[in-house]
């Protein structure tokens, strides 16, 4: 983590300001479209965030259950849920539409800074080259295609350069291992169902480049334990409920045989526009598109050729990433083996998404070309002149890829805006005068229709309209009062003999009751009650959430204590360390690191 502090604070502030300005510019079509909303998969996540916002503001409850979709679905423990993401917590303050816009802009800033750190500290690039690499990575077509298309939970991919930087230092610095664990935890809170398994692949491949000599393995293993413990405990309030969901539900995915065709491969990085359906491919174009443009691609090829020995490890990791993105092209193809035999990859699809990993190295190589190529071309005009020309050319290339992204962005934020609606006095399903899809939570009305991969209990025989939200199955019980909130049902029931009462909600394991026993009636939530008059309260509390909160709280306290104690220890050692040869070597400016390749 110490490498992050080597730049002066004023320079960091200037860099953050520049990244913010560039991100606002790149996302300007989205910002200008306000109050218009996102199309594609955007409405799905918009409604999920709106459900979380309403849960907090109207019912003063944690965002645990979503009664507004599929007759009821998990919200907190949904594997791709975002109710626990820190930036989503802005929605009660600024509204859901603005919170989504901030989500994209601020994550682009973070992605830029992550790539800047990796470029400076691991690739050894100059500031100009790092700027090109960071912008190429952050605004690459692969991020633009997925994010503008509504893949809201794809933002953890932007952390990859920083995760790689920290992991490479974790074997000798516990702070870096803790930092990597924090990124793992943040990814699960941000719904990283795909980014997290892909990150494991990236860090695993990089680790293979450092297992020699064998004496390093123990230090790497120790770092891995720290990352695992920090990541799991800090993210436990999400990990434990999500793991329970995964253990009890199997996502049904059809057979996959997609592999990259040469014609598709030629278009991925260079096609400024493409029809949605790709001839010969199983998936649509946004799953492949990664426009970088001819200039950035050309610079990356040059950088690959002139990178020097110190960066050879990047070639190996990028090569396997490239093979993964090519899919099922042979029985020995990496993705084919993972898809057939390794969990959780057996429950995943779309191998072309591994282009995310490959793009990281392509962006880095574009920066390498700016620093290295002039050293080789200097005898034909002077290195400084060549460097200036390459920087100018690279900035044109970056501007080109951003402009293509803005064109696509302008097409993807044309959805109808949210409107003010009158909230129903009681929460119920369906009924006359239903509001538009995005406005269901604000209207206090759910729907039976389902746009949710995790809606395993969709289709339960629920009832619509402003009617009592609980019913007895026979004359053995009389439901006198039935009130509900987003996470609860409260019933006054007169039970003459043991009976079952149906609730107007889909079932899930997380439902608890103060009396009797929660049971499943087909796909419907029900409670089995003993004889007698009683007030019964059912509430949704995901399995493992209590332990998860305890572990996450303890982890936060432990991380804070670790950094405080480590900082004190380093201050005590500051004087002797400052005069040591090792400390002096650490001050080598990044601009001169490339000389070590010679």
| Annotated domain spans of the chain | 2-32+77-415
**Measured between alpha carbons, how far is 424 from 439 in angstroms, rounded to an integer?**
12
How crowded is residue 312: how many other Cβ atoms within 10 Å of its Cβ?
11
CA dist 328 and 345 (Å) reads 13
CA dist., res. 208 & res. 404, Å (int)? 36
pLDDT at 327: 97
Contact 47, 99 (CB under 8 A): no
Q: pTM above 0.85? A: yes
Compute mean pLDDT per 10 residues along the chain, 598 residues long, and list them: 62 96 98 97 97 97 97 96 95 96 98 98 96 98 96 97 98 97 98 96 97 92 98 98 94 88 94 94 96 97 92 96 97 96 93 97 97 83 87 97 96 96 96 96 97 92 96 94 96 95 97 97 96 95 98 98 94 66 44 41
Q: With the CA atoms of 313, 117, 87 and 354 taken in that order, what torsion angle do they form, in degrees rounded to the nearest 10?
A: -20
Q: What is the pLDDT of residue 575?
A: 62
H-run or E-run covering 538: strand 532-540
- At 480 the three-state DSSP class reads strand
Q: Check residue 310 and give its pLDDT.
A: 86
Q: Which residue carries 């991925």 as its tokens?
A: 268
DSSP H stretches of helix in 259-311? 262-268, 293-306
Q: Pairing relation of β-strands 73-74 and 65-66?
A: antiparallel
């Amino acid at each position: 983590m110490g490498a992050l502090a080597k730049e002066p604070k004023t320079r960091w502030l200037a860099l953050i300001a520049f990244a913010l300005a560039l991100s606002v510019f790149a996302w300007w079509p989205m910002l200008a479209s306000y109050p218009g909303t996102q199309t594609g998969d955007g409405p799905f996540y918009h409604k999920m965030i709106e459900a979380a916002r309403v849960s907090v503001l109207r019912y003063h409850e944690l965002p645990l259950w979503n009664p507004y979709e599929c007759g009821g679905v998990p919200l907190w423990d949904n594997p791709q849920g975002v109710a626990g993401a820190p930036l989503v917590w802005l929605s009660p303050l600024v509204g859901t539409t603005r919170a989504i816009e901030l989500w994209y802009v601020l994550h682009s800033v973070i992605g830029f800074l992550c790539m800047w750190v990796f470029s400076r500290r691991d690739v050894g690039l100059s500031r100009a080259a790092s700027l090109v690499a960071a912008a190429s990575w952050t605004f690459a077509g692969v991020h633009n295609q997925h994010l503008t298309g509504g893949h809201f939970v794809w933002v953890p991919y932007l952390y990859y350069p920083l995760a790689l930087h920290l992991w490479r230092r974790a074997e000798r610095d516990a702070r870096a291992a803790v930092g990597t664990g924090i990124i793992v935890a943040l990814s699960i809170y941000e719904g990283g169902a795909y980014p997290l398994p892909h990150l494991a692949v990236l860090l695993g491949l990089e680790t293979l480049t450092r297992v020699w000599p064998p004496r390093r393995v123990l230090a790497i293993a120790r770092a891995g334990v720290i990352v695992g413990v920090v990541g799991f405990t800090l993210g436990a309030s999400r990990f434990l409920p999500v793991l329970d969901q995964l253990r009890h539900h199997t996502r049904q995915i059809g057979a996959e045989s997609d592999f990259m065709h040469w014609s598709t491969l030629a278009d991925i990085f260079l096609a400024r526009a493409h029809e949605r359906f790709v001839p010969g491919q199983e998936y649509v174009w946004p799953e492949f598109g990664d426009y970088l443009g001819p200039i950035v691609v050309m610079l990356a090829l040059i950088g690959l050729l002139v990178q020097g020995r110190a960066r050879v490890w990047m070639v190996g990791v990028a090569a396997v990433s490239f093979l993964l993105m090519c899919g099922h092209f042979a029985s020995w193809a990496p993705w084919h083996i993972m898809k057939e035999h390794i969990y959780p990859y057996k429950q995943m699809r779309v191998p072309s998404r591994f282009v995310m990993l490959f793009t990281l190295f392509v962006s880095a190589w574009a920066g390498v070309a700016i620093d290295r190529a002039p050293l080789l071309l200097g005898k034909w005009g002077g290195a400084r002149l060549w460097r200036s020309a390459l920087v100018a050319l690279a900035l044109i290339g970056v501007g080109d890829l951003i402009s293509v992204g803005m064109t696509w962005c302008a097409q993807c934020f044309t959805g109808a805006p949210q409107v003010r609606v009158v909230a129903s006095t009681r929460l119920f399903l369906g009924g006359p005068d239903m509001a538009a899809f995005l406005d269901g939570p604000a209207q206090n009305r759910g729907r039976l229709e389902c746009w949710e991969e995790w809606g395993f209990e969709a289709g339960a025989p629920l009832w619509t309209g402003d009617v009592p939200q609980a019913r007895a199955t026979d004359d053995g019980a009389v439901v006198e009062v039935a009130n509900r909130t987003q996470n609860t049902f409260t019933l006054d029931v007169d039970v003459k003999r043991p009976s079952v009462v149906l609730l107007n909600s889909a079932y899930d394991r997380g439902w608890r009751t103060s009396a009797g026993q929660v049971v499943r009636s087909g796909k419907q939530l029900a409670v089995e009650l003993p004889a007698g008059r009683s007030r019964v309260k059912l509430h949704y509390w995901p399995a493992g959430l209590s332990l998860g909160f305890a572990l996450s709280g303890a982890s936060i306290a432990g991380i804070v204590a670790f950094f405080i104690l480590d900082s004190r220890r380093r201050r005590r050692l500051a004087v002797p360390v400052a005069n040591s040869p090792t400390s002096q070597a650490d001050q080598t400016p990044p601009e001169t690191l490339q000389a070590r390749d010679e």
